[in-house]
Amino acid sequence: LAELLKVSRTTAINAYHQLERQKMVRTRIGSGTYIAELSSHSVPKADIPWHQLFSPHLQTPLSSIIKELVSTVVSSDSISLSAGMPDPALYPLDAFHDLFNLTIKNLDSTDFGHIPTEGYFPLRQELARYLNQKNIFSQPDDILVSTGSQQALYLLTKVLLAPGDYVIVESPTYLGAIQMFQSAGARILTLPAAGRFPLSLMEDYLIRYRPKLLYILPTFQNPNGRLIPLNERQEILSLASRHRLAIIEDDPYGELYYGEAPPPSLKALDHYGGVIYLSTFSKILFPGLRTGWIAAPAAVINRVALEKQYMDLHSNNISQWLLTNFLGHNLLESHLKLVRREYKKRRDSAARALRRHLETLISFSVPGGGFYLWCHLENRITSRQLLHEVTKENVSFVPGEAFYADPLGEKEFRLCFVTHREELLQEGVKRLAQALHALMKN
């Protein structure tokens, strides 16, 4: 520094000392001098009563459980069986690096400007081509690209639900959807998501409450892995069509099957134009792309696009270019083959470990696909007690209550079996068993 500023060494050292006294830099012996992080002294004290300024339409308290799940830093010793995260070691990074180099070279300045709110047109073309292979016959105009399917859920909630509206959901179901509907002031009607689909209960709800929509995950449900068979899908659609009920079908896991491919989606079977289909690249590729999509009748796409325009104009271009190329080069299928093979091994390995270590203490069924094992504690311990105990061993899972709109689920919990390789997964289950055995002794 002295040389650079053409001052004497002593002057430079004195300057550093002064900066240190003012807490603007910090010296670490043997390492160097660094600009200090802003200390709490430099943050102005809030003299504004922020809580009183928040909109009264905002329902409180809102749970921050998803925020906590996605911001948990996975340390080398911690085994996260909680967040629904694909294994980072399986991200197709080489393909994306190559595509990135290729795409960047071909881009010009207009590509860095705005694109239509509905999404980058070539991506919507690729998505239409992909959906057509799944018997979801669509044109690019029937598709809107969203910032993850979480945003799609938000936008649909915004355009469809008013406070007091009824929504039917499965019980348990995706916690992000429960929170979204609750925050819109909707009233939630629940259908048990176990065994045969409860058609007569749904009919009862339709007649008594005239709900606005059904939110459903027919394929490898989050959290319980359930798959609704073809005949029940057809029955759901014929009941819904008789009552002109709108359906949101959320399908992030349909491609992740470990045996037979699942039956066609509700959207593929839709004969009355009532199904809004959501999916995402978060589970089949990686969540940082923040790219999902809605396939729906044009009226819905147009209304959602207006709302999205207020929110973010459009989702980010880079992810959309990359995905267009990834799909255009037919790279998805080979990646899916790889992850299906690997996740099948992990599912079986986790199930084996649970049976070996926990035998009669828990029950679960092995799903045909998806990310999760949904476990039931067959003893006096609750999943929250177990979580508390096992966290000390750096293992995490999501307690069942999070997935219910009703006060249920205290004996259940969700384990995500895809994030870690087999050895770590086995170790996680072992620590879980030790924690449960320790609790049982008390």
Binding of ligand PMP by 320 (CB under 6 A): no
419 in Cβ contact with 87 (< 8 Å)? yes
**Based on CB atoms, which residue is closest to ligand PMP, 167 or 435?**
167
Q: d(Cα 92, Cα 235) in Å, to the nearest integer? A: 39
**Based on CB atoms, which residue is closest to ligand PMP, 170 or 393?**
170
Closest CA to 279 of 323, 316, 233, 335: 323
Binding of ligand PMP by 172 (CB under 6 A): no
**Based on CB atoms, which residue is closest to ligand PMP, 211 or 370?**
370
**Based on CB atoms, which residue is closest to ligand PMP, 217 or 322?**
217
Cβ 402 to ligand PMP, closest distance in Å?
12
* Alpha helices per DSSP H over 243-331: 266-269, 298-312, 317-328
Size of the site for ligand PMP (CB under 6 A): 14
Closest CA to 120 of 335, 329, 325: 325
Query: What track of x and - describes contact with ligand PMP for positions 33 through 72 (by CB under 6 A)?
Result: ----------------------------------------
Tally of CB atoms within 10 A around 22: 9
331 in Cβ contact with 95 (< 8 Å)? yes
Closest CA to 311 of 200, 150, 201, 425: 150
**Based on CB atoms, which residue is closest to ligand PMP, 84 or 274?**
84
Closest CA to 387 of 72, 23, 137: 72
- Sheet with 143-146, edge to edge strand ranges: 143-146, 292-295, 275-280, 246-250, 213-216, 166-171, 187-192
Cβ 221 to ligand PMP, closest distance in Å?
8
Cβ 346 to ligand PMP, closest distance in Å?
17
**Based on CB atoms, which residue is closest to ligand PMP, 264 or 292?**
292
Binding of ligand PMP by 426 (CB under 6 A): no
Q: What's the longest Cα–Cα distance across the chain?
A: 87
Contact range with ligand PMP by CB under 6 A, out of 3-11, 144-152, 193-201, 306-314: 144-152
Binding of ligand PMP by 370 (CB under 6 A): no
Residue 403 has, within 13 A of its CA and on its CB side, a CA count of 29
Residue of minimal CB distance from ligand PMP?
Answer: 148
Cβ 196 to ligand PMP, closest distance in Å?
22
Query: What track of x and - describes contact with ligand PMP for positions 233 through 272 (by CB under 6 A)?
Result: -----------------x-x--------------------
Q: d(Cα 226, Cα 171) in Å, to the nearest integer? A: 11
Length of the chain: 442
Binding of ligand PMP by 86 (CB under 6 A): no
* Bridge partners of residue 213, in order along the sequence: 167, 246
Angle, CA of 337, 339 and 345, to the nearest 5°: 110
**Based on CB atoms, which residue is closest to ligand PMP, 282 or 324?**
282
Cβ 291 to ligand PMP, closest distance in Å?
8
Cβ 173 to ligand PMP, closest distance in Å?
8
**Based on CB atoms, which residue is closest to ligand PMP, 138 or 173?**
173
Q: d(Cα 12, Cα 358) in Å, to the nearest integer? A: 65
Query: What track of x and - describes contact with ligand PMP for positions 209 through 228 (by CB under 6 A)?
Result: --------x----x------
Angle, CA of 132, 136 and 142, to the nearest 5°: 90
Three-state SS for 121?
helix
Residues near 75 by beta carbon (within 8 Å), at least 6 away in sequence: 394
Binding of ligand PMP by 287 (CB under 6 A): yes
Residue 183 has, within 13 A of its CA and on its CB side, a CA count of 18
Binding of ligand PMP by 369 (CB under 6 A): no
Contact range with ligand PMP by CB under 6 A, out of 31-39, 146-154, 227-235, 392-400: 146-154
Binding of ligand PMP by 401 (CB under 6 A): no
Cβ 22 to ligand PMP, closest distance in Å?
44
Contact residues: ligand PMP, CB under 6 A: 84, 148-150, 174, 176, 217, 222, 250, 252, 280, 282, 287, 292
